[in-house]
């Protein structure tokens, strides 16, 4: 009996050690903190350039851009819109609650620096309800940077005269497309007086003549709602974590540390709203006094909470996974057209939303590894430190999936396909690697011509 108890104790100790190595237990003890990823990570509200800076493998390191045997002949770009302002409901909450908390914390938050207390004392919301969902100036700048990056990779393909552009019906995708196109026009139209008002008016007319089409393809994540199957929402795991004792303890520690009194009725929902405002201001203005109120593990915990929701949206429902087949079917048709007609368009640019990217990544079995949280022996929740599904790096503002068709002379006119996510080479089903013969891809997805109808998919039972 003693031997069995001893073995159980050893097993428990091993398990506890494993948790300490691979998991972060929510605690107020700073000495348990580990080196987390960039403190600027904010889930899907992270800026693309922040995520790009933290990625170690970029296309320039993975792929030889000056490959003499293979020439890029077609580019398929599917991107999320860039940095935007919050939606109307969230702006109304911020207008109602944030001025109150700014005054309380600036007055009572004794552990804050004088600079942060000063910034909170004079803080005002720099946008209003008329800005809802519009792309910010920082978003337009970031889109311009992304356009320049891909133009540097594929200058011959991003010729504005041979590009098709489609957006969703949401204004933020149209404004992102506009910024992307305007950058390409700016690069390709030589003019010594580009910064004059006359040049701006001329450029605006040129871009406005470029046909930007609204496509239902980019709103497939909403199509099933017509059939009474929203297939979105907060999972049981999300609710378990959000309403856990560990999260309530985190809220209490936060409120005590920042001088929020009990009578203020400070809830975990309010703490989440403060964190969301921190993320928006950080993405929009590159800084926010609200971010200084959070310890790294608190932001880490909220990021993981958001990832539960997005991962469930992607992998939790069979219908959500299946509906992304329309994107791959569309890609397949575009690749066949580019292969058979060398005079067709050089590039397809699509601008959509994060929910669209979730479904696409799920359909392609990308970033599938996502460990669930655990409990230690004291009932404390412990969150996994490393996971593939991390929206801060895979679905930030401006995230993109790109497929490039190559003509390789060395293989008797063999066409090959390169697939990328955020400039990193990825291997997708139907290809033996990230750079595979086109026929492999076309043959693998040939069934989609008959088996990919949204109306039929939306009527399927949940799985």
Residue 161 phi/psi, 5-degree rounding, is: -80, -10
Q: pLDDT value at position 309?
A: 94
Q: What is the pLDDT of residue 351?
A: 98
Find, among 425, 435, 427, 423, the residue nearest to 153 by Cα.
Answer: 423
User: 38: part of which helix (H) or strand (E)?
Assistant: none
Prediction pTM value: 0.89
Which of 390, 342, 339 has the alpha carbon at shortest distance from 366?
390
Q: Is the dihedral of CA 37, 43, 46, 52 positive or negative?
A: positive
Q: Left, alpha or beta for 310 (phi > 0: left; psi -120 to 50: alpha)?
A: alpha
Helices 325-340 & 354-363, crossing angle to 10 degrees? 80
CB burial of 188-214 (b: ≥16 within 10 Å; e: otherwise) equals eeeeeeeeeeeeeeebeeebeebebee
- Write the DSSP assignment of 186-225 as a string of letters: HHHS--TTTTSHHHHHHHHHHHHHS-EEE-GGGGHHHHGG
Q: What is the pLDDT of residue 68?
A: 61
What's the pLDDT at 170?
Answer: 95
- Which of 36-45, 181-190, 245-254 ranks highest by mean pLDDT? 245-254
Task: State the pLDDT at residue 410.
Answer: 62
Per-residue confidence band for 175, with pLDDT thresholds at 50, 70 and 90: very high
Please tell me which residue, 16 or 200, carries the higher pLDDT value: 200
The pLDDT value recorded for residue 46 is 95
Give the list of residues 6+ apart from residue 226 with CB closer than 8 angstroms, or none: 458
Lowest-confidence pick of 8-12, 115-119, 341-345, 364-368: 8-12
pLDDT in tens, 416-446: 999 999 999 999 999 988 889 999 999 999 9
User: Which of 14-18, 131-135, 339-343 has the weakest average pLDDT?
Assistant: 14-18
Measure CA of the first residue to CA of the last residue in the chain; give whole Å: 45
Q: Active-site positions?
A: 81, 354
Domains and CATH numbers, the chain: 46-84+133-231+318-458 (3.40.50.1240), 86-131+232-316 (no CATH)
Residues 6 or more apart in contact with residue 206 via CB below 8 angstroms: 185, 189
Tell me how far apart the alpha carbons of residues 71 and 416 are, in angstroms, rounded to a whole number: 10
Lowest mean pLDDT among 22-36, 187-201, 233-247, 328-342: 22-36
Q: Mean pLDDT, to the nearest integer, of 357-373?
A: 95
Residue 419 sits at φ, ψ, to 5 deg, of -120, 135
Residue 108 confidence (pLDDT) above 70: yes
Q: Which residues of 354-391 are buried (b: 16+ CB within 10 A; e: fewer)?
A: bbbbbbbbbbbebbeebeebbebeeebbbbbbeeebbb
- DSSP summary character for residue 65: T
């Amino acid at each position: 009996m003693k031997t069995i108890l001893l073995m159980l104790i050893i097993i428990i100790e091993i398990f506890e050690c494993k948790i300490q190595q691979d998991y972060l237990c929510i605690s107020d003890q700073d000495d348990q903190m580990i080196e987390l990823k960039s403190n600027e990570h904010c889930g899907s509200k992270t800026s693309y350039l922040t995520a790009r800076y933290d990625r170690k493998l970029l296309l320039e390191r993975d792929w030889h851009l000056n490959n003499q045997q293979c020439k890029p002949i077609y580019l398929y770009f599917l991107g999320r819109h860039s940095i935007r302002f919050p939606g109307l409901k969230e702006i109304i909450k911020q207008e109602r609650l944030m001025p109150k908390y700014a005054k309380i914390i600036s007055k009572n938050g004794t552990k804050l620096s004088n600079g942060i207390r000063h910034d909170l004392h004079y803080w005002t919301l720099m946008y209003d309800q008329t800005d809802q969902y519009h792309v910010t100036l920082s978003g337009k700048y970031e889109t311009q940077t992304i356009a320049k990056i891909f133009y540097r990779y594929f200058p011959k393909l991003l010729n504005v005269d041979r590009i098709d552009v489609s957006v969703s019906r949401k204004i933020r995708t149209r404004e992102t497309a506009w910024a992307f196109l305007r950058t390409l026009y700016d690069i390709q139209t030589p003019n010594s007086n580009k910064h004059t008002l006359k040049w701006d008016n001329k450029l605006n007319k040129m871009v406005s003549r470029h046909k930007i089409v609204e496509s239902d393809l980019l709103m497939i994540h909403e199509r099933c709602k017509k059939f009474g199957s929203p297939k979105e929402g907060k999972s049981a795991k999300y609710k378990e974590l959000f309403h856990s004792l560990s999260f309530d303890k985190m809220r209490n520690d936060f409120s005590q540390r920042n001088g929020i009194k009990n009578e203020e009725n400070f809830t975990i929902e309010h703490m989440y709203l403060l964190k969301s405002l921190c993320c928006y201001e950080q993405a929009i203005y590159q800084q926010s006094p609200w971010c200084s109120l959070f310890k790294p593990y608190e932001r880490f915990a909220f990021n993981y909470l958001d990832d539960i929701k997005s991962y469930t949206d992607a992998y939790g429902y069979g219908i959500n996974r299946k509906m992304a087949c329309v994107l791959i079917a569309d890609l397949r048709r575009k690749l066949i057209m580019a292969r058979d007609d060398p005079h067709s368009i050089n590039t397809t640019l699509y601008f959509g939303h994060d929910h669209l990217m979730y479904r696409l990544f799920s359909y392609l079995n990308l970033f599938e590894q996502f460990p669930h949280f655990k409990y230690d022996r004291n009932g404390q929740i412990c969150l996994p430190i490393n996971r593939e599904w991390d929206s801060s790096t895979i679905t930030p503002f401006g995230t993109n999936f790109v497929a490039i068709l190559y003509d390789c002379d060395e293989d008797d006119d063999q066409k090959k396909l390169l697939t990328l996510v955020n400039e990193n080479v990825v291997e997708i089903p139907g290809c033996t690697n990230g750079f595979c013969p086109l026929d492999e891809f076309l043959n693998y997805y040939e069934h989609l011509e008959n088996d990919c109808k949204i109306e039929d998919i939306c009527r399927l039972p949940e799985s």
